[in-house]
Structure 1
Amino acid sequence: MTPQKEQSGESCRRRSEEEDEGKANPALPQAQPSFDAPDGGWGWVVLVATILVLALTLAFPSCMGIFYTDLQTEFDASNSETSWVPSIMIAVLHAGGPLCSVLVERFGCRATVMLGGVLSGMGMAASSFTTSIIGLYITAGVITGLGFCFSFQPAVTILGHYFVRRRAFANALSSTGTALGLATLPFLGHYLHSELGWRGSFLVLGAVLLNSCVCGAVMRPVVPRLPRGPSKRAAAARETVVKERARTMLKSLATSFRRHMAFDLFCSNHRFCVFSVAITWMMLGFVVPLIFLVPYATDHGMDQSQAALLLSVMGFINIFVRPPVGLLFSLPWFKGRHVYVFSVALLLNGLSDSICCIAPTFSVLLVYVLCYGLTMSVVGSLVFTVLMDIVDMRRFPAALGLLSIMESVTLLIGPPLAGSLVDRTGVYTYVFLACSMTVASSALFLLVSFYCLDRRDGAQKEVLPALETPHDPVPKYQYIHVSMEGKDDHASIETERVTSV
């Protein structure tokens, strides 16, 4: 028998032993068949479900301003205490990313989205029975926010599994989900508030959030699981695995935390460092106007239906502007220039907050939401594109995880700081002025920093060719590695030859 046949026979025996061991031990990773992304078919159903999930999760915290005054009156709370409710909700939505990744790896996107729908629905339903503002922090803030996180991130993840060739188009359409929720949820919240009060509204909204479970049910995995045949050895091994699951879960949490937190990128990649710092500083005042717009309008005598209409107008602007913006900036001319377009849009978005300081009338605030909505569409469409430009796609999930954690800190303290400012001054215009300065300064920091980094990289590219020797473009020696296997069973000859000088 030749060595090749002996090796093939040994490899076959080894594969059969590994297969038997894999069947006996369910803890070992099982081989799964790989399929190409359908780029259509059932993927369109998943796309619609993702749009609905984003409408129910990302846009929901900004609609809490409709119940802002009622919560203050019910619990005799200050502006700072009341604003903790949406801020905790938004912060937990972003900070729960690493835990959500662990659940997705263990149970899949479908089960995680459905779990998020159950948590968010139960959290809002339990909020209708709370008797203190602290209880509202736990139910509406922590539980509902965690449910939003478990629904939002897996929905975006599974969409990338269904679309590869049409991924840009699918992401552009899915981003309209936030705008759809921003356009419809204020109308729904105002109607429920006028008919049922804030407690009844929270109970009904909890039932509405349970629709995320329906959306998650249609998100079937692209790669099906392989069936496992029942056997006595498998049952015995399963009993052993159950005893070690707690230890495995802790190891998985630690491994996932390291994998989804790109601390090395923050130290080595200067562009990612600048971008993450700028975005974290931006979030201190980016979402605050959405929370305080309705209280600001109603505090100056505007009807609540008109104030809710302002948020809906902003949502409709995002619906119609985001898809063409995504297609426009996908043109080749904008490659490498996304960060500058993003910075200019962010600067205009920050400056638009100062429009609210002119007068609290409907016409002035309508001009404000038009300007804010247009610039918000550009910012929302390009934020992930810019991150993909400055970070390798293999490290993108880790970079996004670290950025989400950093954002959650400023998202948590932003609204309470704004509420404290209103409590001390009694004037809402100071909030919008502070948000304008915060967002505009982050845009200028991002713009100037990337301009300096580009200048530095351009100077280095000009210096490097001058250091190379033009008279010796190729090495003097070229080596070719030649392997010669003889027919002898016991030896093989390998030689290295210099073929040119």
Structure 2
Amino acid sequence: MPQARLGVKPPDGGWGWVVVAGAFFVHAGMLATALSFGVFYAEFREVFQESAGITSFISSILVGTMLMCSPFAGALSNLTSCRTAIIAGGVISAAGLAVSYFAQTMIHLFFSVGILTGFGLSLTYTPSLAMIGRYFNRRHGTANGIAVCGTGVGQFALPPLFQFLIDEFGWKGALLIVGGLMLNGCVCGALMKPIYLTEDGTKVDREAQSSEDQELPVVHVPFHQKACESFDVSLLKHRPFLVFSVSLFGMVLGVSVLFVHLVAHAQNLGVEKTSAVFLLSIIGVSEIFSRPLNGWLSDRGKIDKVYYYMIGVTGMAVANLAIPFASNYTGLVVCMVLYGFFSGMANPVLAVLVCRYSGASRISSGLGWAFVFQGVAFLLGPPVAGWLYDATGNYDMSFFSAAIVIFVSVLVLLLNPCSTTSRTLGPGAGGLPDRPDGIVVLSYVMRDVSSEDGIGVFSHMKRDVSGEDGIGVFSHMKRDVSGEDGIGVFSHVKRDVSSEDGIRVLSHVKRDVSSEDGIGVFSHMKRDVSGEDGIGVLSHVKRDVSSEDGIRVLSHVKRDVSSEDGIGVFSHMKRDVSGEDGIGVFSHMKRDVSGEDGIGVLSHVKRDVSSEDGIRVLSHVKRDVSSEDGIGVFSHMKRDVSGEDGIGVLSHVKRDVSSEDGIRVLSHVKRDVSSEDGIGVFSHMKRDVSGEDGIGVLSHVKRDVSSEDGIGVFSHMKRDVSSEDGIGVLSHVKRDVSSEDGIGVLSHVKRDVSSEDGIGVLSHVKRYVSSEDGIGVLSHVKRDVSSEDGQSNPGFRG
């Protein structure tokens, strides 16, 4: 199954503008056809001699089916691609109008025009909007405004065209010709190029991705499971999204009356048919200017988009309310100009708000469910208005009722607190403010711990996508969990985001291990380690979150050493936190990004931030040195901080190798500090391996695990340095999992940095932090972007 691999941020341009052009013509030719179908209303009523309520069902079913089938369209685009869905929609909608040529009864038109054509239009409409959300974030409102103004162009051009075709060829010939026009949707679909980005937002090579896919094991998921996951019913449990959808229902319930009954109402006032049809074109002309202008203003103005939407919908209600008071054609024209202007305020931000309440990763599903509410409303509105006409003999009560319902829909939005108008799909309280950069790394992760599939790290991470980039690090990762455990490290993780706990990765993380500590970074990881503990990388970590800064990754680490699972990385580590430094492992990391040397991950780390040099990586480590050698992992580390070379991690380490325990981890490390390259992670390490490579990232490290301590850093790691794929730090690691503990450090990790997804395990990760230095993992990470200094926001709690 094809998967869209979204990166840190949408490109906000490039081919995205071609996608906008395709979406423009989808709106102009497909959606505008549905909204302009009221031109056929008078013909159908005259030919079949049915009441206004029954006849209006054709347009109601058409638009209602188009909107109500949006979840199916979203699911199909998730299972295949938006391009495939739109092309299929063009063919189906054309077939529906073509078979309408043979209609002899109203029921025939209900099925051919209403259901078949409506379903085809749904396959074109929803995926076209979803593609804009994937290509744009910072300019989402502008791009969306340009695309949806196609509806205005279509509404201007199509009603007179439809009337001309009816006059020249009859209603049957007109439907056949319009069906041919629907095939242009296939051309629009061909423009919807799927987007594949790496973590730094750059395109990658498909061929290399294919080679990687061949190397990695593939677990097949049943089609019905993929289909069920694509519908994403959990969105309906999220209150802000549900409230917004109910508001959409009320708005469309009122607006639908105008599109179906306006022409008939004008004819009842004595307006000739051609002029009455042109009223729909006037709406289109007004929207041509209003939609792109207001979309642009919504991106640059200081008014929140939800209030922009509410002002627009209120104006639409006023325009509907004024229609019964317009006793002549001029008055109706003024009402339509006002309606088109305010509609141009609300419609460009509609999809943007859906993206806000559902998240960019689920915008297809979010649009689908939002359109279901609109579809039900369009299915009910015109027939009810028609029955009110049959009962009263005029349309005044119909338009009054429509205006009241639209007003109520605006009031419904007030049920959403202001704090929820700009947050991600998150818990019931709190939220993330709008920011220009919108970078929130690994924050606001939601996890449903009631499942049994062993959910992994960074699963279904939801971020505040109301900013300009929308995508976080390691976000949008999907994993095939059809097996019983099968959960890898950082690979294809899937999560249920329907819970309300709002867990944050690397902060206030809770892990259900039925033990007392229950706190774990990267917790809820399950690996097939053929043992009983299932302890993952860096699990069972305890963090001290009582401090004010709350930024102490892997600090205050304590590990339960009473188990028999073969302690892994950073295990048995104890720190003396009673002193002044109290700095943990990899905590309070700072990187010097003022130079151009491209410092690597974990290099130039500042530990003691009170001093000027601040280069004390993993120093001051306390260990049991009661034995003579007593040389432990990262122990007795010495660094020369008097120079200017900026020594990296684990450099200048010396170890007594005269002992008999066979432990020579990172021994004989030498570092050439005469170079100017800005030393990176474990870089320039030399080991005497009497081989030819000599230089490797913790390569060819061997450890004797027959000793009693059984504690090894990166033990049994082997690295193939003969390949050419540019493997990063801790990549291509192989572990011997035949032992009982089976606990490895980033074991069996493979990363091809030439692939399309660019998702590596802490290797070659690049984040966009508005600078050009390509900051690495865990360095210069900004969690709360509501402040300027990148410090944690006290209000951002789990």
TM-score, normalised by the number of residues in structure 1: 0.77
CA contact 1:261–1:399 (8 Å) conserved in 2: no
Paired position in structure 1 for 2:142:
169
Q: Does 1:445 align with 2:412?
A: yes
Q: Does 1:277 align with 2:246?
A: yes
After TM superposition, the structure 1 = structure 2 runs for residues 227-238 of structure 1, keeping only pairs within 5 Å, are none
Q: Does 1:221 align with 2:194?
A: yes
* Deviation string, structure 1 residues 335-357 (Cα, Å, up to 9, x no partner): xx332332233222112212221
Paired position in structure 1 for 2:488:
none
Paired position in structure 1 for 2:112:
139
Q: Does 1:50 align with 2:23?
A: yes
In 2, Cα distance between equivalents of 1:450 and 1:34: 31
User: What is the aligned counterpart of 2:399 among 432, 440, 448?
Assistant: 432
In 2, Cα distance between equivalents of 1:138 and 1:166: 40
* Deviation string, structure 1 residues 118-149 (Cα, Å, up to 9, x no partner): 11111111112101111101000001011101
After TM superposition, the structure 1 = structure 2 runs for residues 145-160 of structure 1, keeping only pairs within 5 Å, are 145-160=118-133
CA contact 1:278–1:443 (8 Å) conserved in 2: yes
Shift of 1:216: 1.7
Paired position in structure 2 for 1:330:
299
User: Cα distance 1:70–1:360, how it changes in 2: closer, same or farther (>3 A)?
Assistant: farther
**Aligned-partner SS, 1:500:** coil
CA contact 2:30–2:121 (8 Å) conserved in 1: yes
Paired position in structure 2 for 1:317:
286
CA contact 1:343–1:447 (8 Å) conserved in 2: no
**Aligned-partner SS, 2:271:** coil
CA contact 1:179–1:318 (8 Å) conserved in 2: yes
Q: Does 1:413 align with 2:380?
A: yes
User: Cα distance 1:45–1:372, how it changes in 2: closer, same or farther (>3 A)?
Assistant: same
CA contact 1:75–1:132 (8 Å) conserved in 2: yes
- Name the amino acid aligned to 1:338: K
In 2, Cα distance between equivalents of 1:32 and 1:352: 44
In 1, Cα distance between equivalents of 2:86 and 2:136: 19
In 2, Cα distance between equivalents of 1:64 and 1:31: 35
CA contact 2:139–2:299 (8 Å) conserved in 1: no
In 2, Cα distance between equivalents of 1:212 and 1:124: 14
Paired position in structure 2 for 1:70:
43
In 1, Cα distance between equivalents of 2:184 and 2:12: 25
Shift of 1:423: 1.5
In 2, Cα distance between equivalents of 1:222 and 1:457: 33
User: Cα distance 1:176–1:475, how it changes in 2: closer, same or farther (>3 A)?
Assistant: closer
Aligned residues: 432
CA contact 1:128–1:202 (8 Å) conserved in 2: yes
After TM superposition, the structure 1 = structure 2 runs for residues 295-314 of structure 1, keeping only pairs within 5 Å, are 295-314=264-283
**Aligned-partner SS, 1:60:** helix
Shift of 1:181: 1.1
In 2, Cα distance between equivalents of 1:225 and 1:491: 39
Paired position in structure 2 for 1:340:
307
Paired position in structure 2 for 1:494:
572
After TM superposition, the structure 1 = structure 2 runs for residues 116-265 of structure 1, keeping only pairs within 5 Å, are 116-163=89-136, 166-223=139-196, 248-257=222-231, 259=232, 262-265=235-238
* Deviation string, structure 1 residues 172-214 (Cα, Å, up to 9, x no partner): 2112111111111112112112211211111111111111112
In 2, Cα distance between equivalents of 1:303 and 1:76: 21
CA contact 1:340–1:447 (8 Å) conserved in 2: no
In 1, Cα distance between equivalents of 2:4 and 2:265: 58
Paired position in structure 2 for 1:110:
83
In 1, Cα distance between equivalents of 2:234 and 2:326: 44
Shift of 1:332: 5.5
User: Cα distance 1:133–1:404, how it changes in 2: closer, same or farther (>3 A)?
Assistant: same
Paired position in structure 2 for 1:486:
none
In 2, Cα distance between equivalents of 1:475 and 1:59: 54
CA contact 1:89–1:144 (8 Å) conserved in 2: yes
Paired position in structure 1 for 2:368:
401
Rg comparison, structure with higher value? 2
- Name the amino acid aligned to 1:305: T
Paired position in structure 1 for 2:485:
none
User: Cα distance 1:227–1:67, how it changes in 2: closer, same or farther (>3 A)?
Assistant: farther
User: What is the aligned counterpart of 1:378 among 345, 351, 354?
Assistant: 345
- Name the amino acid aligned to 1:331: R
User: Cα distance 1:396–1:51, how it changes in 2: closer, same or farther (>3 A)?
Assistant: closer
**Aligned-partner SS, 2:572:** strand
User: Cα distance 1:344–1:169, how it changes in 2: closer, same or farther (>3 A)?
Assistant: closer
In 1, Cα distance between equivalents of 2:5 and 2:251: 43
**Aligned-partner SS, 2:36:** helix
CA contact 1:314–1:369 (8 Å) conserved in 2: yes
- Name the amino acid aligned to 2:188: C
- Name the amino acid aligned to 2:78: E
TM-score, normalised by the number of residues in structure 2: 0.50
Shift of 1:422: 1.2
Paired position in structure 2 for 1:17:
none
Instruction: Say which structure, 1 or 2, has more relative contact order (CA 8 Å, 6+ apart).
Output: 1
- Name the amino acid aligned to 2:229: T
User: Cα distance 1:276–1:106, how it changes in 2: closer, same or farther (>3 A)?
Assistant: closer
CA contact 2:4–2:195 (8 Å) conserved in 1: no
CA contact 2:286–2:340 (8 Å) conserved in 1: yes
In 1, Cα distance between equivalents of 2:135 and 2:159: 32
* Deviation string, structure 1 residues 349-396 (Cα, Å, up to 9, x no partner): 112212221244111101110111111111112223334444544454
In 2, Cα distance between equivalents of 1:168 and 1:358: 35
CA contact 1:260–1:401 (8 Å) conserved in 2: no
CA contact 1:35–1:222 (8 Å) conserved in 2: no
User: Cα distance 1:256–1:293, how it changes in 2: closer, same or farther (>3 A)?
Assistant: same
In 2, Cα distance between equivalents of 1:227 and 1:452: 44
- Greater helix content: 1
CA RMSD of aligned residues (A): 3.5
Q: Does 1:480 align with 2:556?
A: yes
User: Cα distance 1:307–1:99, how it changes in 2: closer, same or farther (>3 A)?
Assistant: same
- Name the amino acid aligned to 2:93: S
Larger mean Cα displacement after TM superposition, 145-154 or 107-116: 107-116
- Name the amino acid aligned to 1:372: Y
In 1, Cα distance between equivalents of 2:78 and 2:242: 28
**Aligned-partner SS, 1:151:** helix
**Aligned-partner SS, 2:573:** strand
Shift of 1:433: 1.1
User: Cα distance 1:69–1:225, how it changes in 2: closer, same or farther (>3 A)?
Assistant: farther
- Name the amino acid aligned to 2:266: A
**Aligned-partner SS, 2:338:** helix
CA contact 2:73–2:123 (8 Å) conserved in 1: yes
* Deviation string, structure 1 residues 24-53 (Cα, Å, up to 9, x no partner): xxx8x8998989966555443332222111
User: Cα distance 1:225–1:101, how it changes in 2: closer, same or farther (>3 A)?
Assistant: farther
